[in-house]
Amino acid sequence: MIPAFFKLVLYLKKNKREFAIVFHSFDQNLPNVVKEFNLFCQGNHPCFNGKNGLPSAKFDNSKGNRYMELNTSNCAYMLRRTDNPDDNHLVVGTLERVALADQIPKTNPNLNELLLRDVEQKKVTVHSGFNEIFLKLHQNLKDVDCC
């Protein structure tokens, strides 16, 4: 992540702007992004820790700051298997892609079978189709505390 991104977050906070951040990647690098962003939110990022004249940042609920750390409850991934809008799925509660998800026959309409254990244990929820995905994302953004 580049320092300009973190400076933008600080600028938005300083100006009391309401905002949400959504990270998107086509690669497997999101766990690294989450780790670096959480360091920033905790005030431990090497470029934003308040040491040696560097700016300080904290988004950890301390001193009235907004809590912005990422964890499994506010992480998700998209899974698309065909061009059919109903075959788009948002798996909420993890960044760990199901290993066999891309190997499911594209004619199998029930992705939940693959995720059944995690769904039953309420570790993840699966939202399918553009409308349901949009509603879930919209609800999550509404539920976030304002800065």
- Digits of tens for pLDDT over the chain (147 positions)? 788 999 999 999 889 888 888 888 777 788 888 899 999 998 889 888 888 888 888 887 777 777 888 877 778 888 877 788 888 888 888 877 665 455 555 555 566 566 666 776 777 888 888 999 999 888 877 776 544
- Output 120-128 pairs: Cβ under 8 A, ≥24 positions apart: 123/72, 123/93, 123/94, 124/91, 124/92, 124/93, 124/94, 125/91, 125/92, 125/93, 126/89, 126/90, 126/91, 126/92, 127/89, 127/90, 127/92, 128/86, 128/87, 128/88, 128/89, 128/90
| Helical ranges in the chain per DSSP H | 3-14, 30-42, 116-120, 130-143
The vertex-30 CA angle with 28 and 35, nearest 5°, equals 130
pLDDT at 146: 45
